[in-house]
Amino acid sequence: MALHAPKNPRRPRRPLSIGPEDILPYQDLLWRVHRTAGEYPSAWNGFRSYGPLTTMRWDPHPGPRGDHPGHGVLYAATDLRTAVAEFFQAQRRVDPMRAGVAATTFVPVRPLRLLALLAEDSSWLLRSGASHSLMAAPRGTCRAWAREIARAEPADGQGPVDGLWAESTMTGCPMVVLFERAASALPEAPRDSALLAAPVMMAALEDISASLGWELAWPTA
C-alpha cells in the first residue's frame, strides 16, 4: 500500500465521476489564433483529427499518433492575449508577419458543456485524485486525462462533455479545449477574423507583446 499518493497520477482512476456541479456552461466570445496558409493550415472552426501531438497538452486522441476521425480537438481562449501567448509560446516572440496567421472570434450557438478544471469553479480535480497543478503537469499526463474525460459519461445524462474549461499555463487565464462533439455548437460563420498583420491588429499586438515582455516583429519597409 502506497503511503503517499502522487499529486497528479499519470492517468485518472476509472470510472470518472462527473456531476452536474462540475460542468460549466459557456456561451461567450472565444478567440482563436490559427494558420490560414503555409504549413498545417486550419480553418477557424477546424477540429484537428491528427494526433496526439507531443507539443499539445490536452489532445484527446488515442494512440498511436495518426489520423483519428471523431477524436478531433480545437483550442481556444477567452481573450486575445492568451490566444497570442499560447500560439507563440515556443518562440516567445510575437510575429504577425508570419504568413497567414489570423485571429478569429466566434460565439457558440448553444452553451458549451465544459468540465471545470479551475479551482474557483469546481473541486473536481481534487475529488478525482489529482490537484489544481495538473494543468501544469507533464503534457503526456494531461493528454491521458483528456482521453479519459472525453469518453466519460457525466451524471447529468446528457452525454460526454464538449470539452475542458482549463487554465492557460502561459497567462493563467481561462482557456477552452473543445472535443469534436462540440462541432454542433460552432456557428456557421465567425464573429470577426483578421490576419495578425492587418493594421487593425497591430496596436493590440503591441500592447500584448509589451505585457508579455516579448518582442514584436514589425513589418520591414
- pLDDT for 10-21, tens place per residue? 999 888 999 999
pLDDT higher than 70, residue 2: no
- pLDDT for 27-41, tens place per residue? 999 999 999 998 889
Which alpha helices (DSSP H) does 70-114 contain, by range? 80-87
Which alpha helices (DSSP H) does the chain contain, by range? 80-87, 124-127, 139-151, 199-212
Determine, yes or no, domain membership for 6. no
Determine, yes or no, domain membership for 147. yes
pLDDT higher than 90, residue 194: yes
Determine, yes or no, domain membership for 115. yes
CATH of the domain at 130: 3.90.175
pLDDT higher than 60, residue 123: yes
Determine, yes or no, domain membership for 8. no
- Give the confidence band of 1 by pLDDT, cuts at 50, 70, 90: very low
Determine, yes or no, domain membership for 175. yes
CA atoms within 13 A of residue 185's CA, in its CB half-sphere = 23
Backbone angle region of 159, left / alpha / beta, with phi > 0 → left and psi within -120 to 50 → alpha: left
CA distance 159 to 181: 10
Determine, yes or no, domain membership for 72. yes
CA distance 91 to 214: 9
In 3D, which of 55, 87, 59, 63 has the Cα closest to residue 72? 59
Tally of domains in the chain: 1
Determine, yes or no, domain membership for 9. no
- pLDDT for 66-121, tens place per residue? 999 999 999 999 999 999 999 999 999 999 988 899 999 999 999 999 999 999 99
Q: What is the DSSP letter of 49?
A: -
Q: Is residue 145 a contact partner of residue 53, using CB atoms and an 8 Å limit? A: no
Determine, yes or no, domain membership for 1. no
- Give the confidence band of 221 by pLDDT, cuts at 50, 70, 90: low
For residue 100 the three cell numbers come to: 497567414
Domain of residue 61, residue span? 20-213
- pLDDT for 147-179, tens place per residue? 999 999 999 999 999 999 999 999 999 999 999
Distance of CA 86 to the CA centre of its chain: 9
